[in-house]
């Protein structure tokens, strides 16, 4: 089991939360589909969810997986990834 911290999204960046859970699930599923380790899939999921917060709509703020990861890594995380 792996736990991944959430992204430190700057409050001024948040425009809405619609679709964030779907973005989380989609990122995790894409990572697993691509054969990534669970820790990498979770990182993509939390980064996609964080990226989705930049728009009040469900999907307008989402870009490529690479762009979501870059945004999440630039903002940083609330803690480490932990294997349980």
Q: What is the pLDDT of residue 49?
A: 97
The total of other beta-carbon atoms located within 10 Å of residue 39's CB is 14
Q: How many C-beta atoms lie closer than 10 Å to residue 10's C-beta? A: 10
- In angstroms, the CA 72 to CA 49 distance is 9
- The domain spans of the chain are 17-77
Can you give the pLDDT at residue 17?
Answer: 96
pLDDT per 10-residue tile (average), the chain, 84 residues: 91 96 97 97 97 94 95 94 76
What is the phi-psi region of residue 71: left when phi exceeds 0, alpha when psi lies from -120 to 50, beta otherwise?
A: alpha
Q: What is the predicted pLDDT for the residue at 80?
A: 83
Of 65, 72, 58, 64, residue with least CA distance to 4: 72
């Amino acid at each position: 089991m792996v736990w991944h911290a959430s992204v430190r999204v700057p409050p001024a960046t948040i425009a809405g939360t619609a679709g964030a859970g779907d973005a989380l699930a989609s990122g995790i599923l894409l990572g697993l589909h691509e054969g990534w380790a669970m820790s990498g899939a979770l990182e993509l999921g939390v980064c996609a969810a964080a990226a989705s917060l930049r728009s009040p709509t469900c999907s307008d703020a989402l870009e490529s997986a690479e762009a979501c990861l870059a945004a999440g890594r630039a903002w940083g995380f609330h803690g480490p990834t932990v294997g349980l």
